[in-house]
């Protein structure tokens, strides 16, 4: 059996690993704050009627491992908080404290 035929599977695995690694890196490096806010807004919109994507805003998160904190405040309702990581994962956070009434 020729030597090059023995190395073909290893070469194919190396090329496949490089392709998928570059593809995953490209996705994460091109992830913008807007993408994360839109993903959190989609989760927020699935919660009921009378909600708008413009109800959501984001600030940098003070916690470690959290990139942005997205807060969506419906008119006449309690705010909903979402935490986003740099990898694009958006999870619903603990309920935000309601602002004091003035």
Residue ranges for the chain with pLDDT beneath 70: 95-102
pLDDT of the residue at 95: 57
Contact 73/81 with Cβ under 8 angstroms? no
Q: How far apart are CA 35 and CA 33, in angstroms?
A: 5
Domain boundaries, the chain: 1-30, 33-92
Alpha helices in 1-102 (DSSP H): 3-29, 33-45
- Cα-based torsion angle of the residue sequence 55, 40, 47, 81 in order, rounded to the nearest 10 degrees: -70
Write down the pLDDT at residue 98: 53
Q: What is the pLDDT of residue 24?
A: 85
- Give the pLDDT score at 59: 94
Tell me what pLDDT residue 63 has. Answer: 85
Look at residue 100 in the predicted model and tell me its pLDDT. Answer: 58
């Amino acid at each position: 059996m020729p030597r090059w035929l023995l190395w073909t599977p290893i070469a194919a695995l190396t090329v496949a690993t490089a392709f998928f690694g570059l593809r995953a890196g490209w996705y994460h490096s091109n992830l913008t704050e807007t993408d994360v806010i839109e993903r959190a807004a989609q989760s927020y919109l699935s919660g009921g009627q009378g909600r708008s994507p413009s109800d959501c805003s984001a600030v940098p998160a003070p916690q470690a491992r959290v990139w942005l904190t997205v807060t969506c405040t419906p008119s006449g309702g309690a705010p909903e908080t979402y935490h986003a990581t740099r990898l694009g994962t958006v999870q619903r956070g603990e309920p935000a404290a309601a602002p004091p009434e003035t």
